[in-house]
Structure 1
Amino acid sequence: PSERVLCSARASVLLYDDAQKLWVPAGGPPQSPSCVQLFHHPGTHSFRLVGRRLHPEQQVGALGAPGDRSASGGH
């Protein structure tokens, strides 16, 4: 069996910069929404979390149903 999407969410993704002691936008400024998906591979009992920054034209109504990868451009 192959991987399947367990859930998708639109989120602002931040990374902690230990040197500056603050949270910064993933991928650098400016901060923009991302599509975050949790994948599960039942054969290997593994999970994978994937986040993709949305392009401006994808930011309205960008997330489809679980398993519908069209929202992220099918990548």
Structure 2
Amino acid sequence: MLDLRLPADIEKRLEDLARKTGRSKSYFVREAIVEHLDDLEDLYLAEERLRELQSGESGTIALADLMKIHGMEN
């Protein structure tokens, strides 16, 4: 269960959409979360990876070296 407070203008838009479509507000909130959760996860992972690179906790590998490791060199 999730308890969520939205700004008044967003709540109004959500109510209008639900009324116009005959669907529940919960339906549209769920759809929005499902639609954007992958993007948010990807963003978090990219930011975390950048932090690790900048702090020296991890490094990089050249594409040519990676291709050699996987037997894909030219």
Per the shorter chain, which TM-score range? Answer: under 0.3
TM-score by length of 1: 0.20
By relative contact order (CA 8 Å, sep 6+), the higher-ranking structure is 1
In proportion to residue count, which structure has more helix? 2
Normalization by structure 2: what TM-score? Answer: 0.20
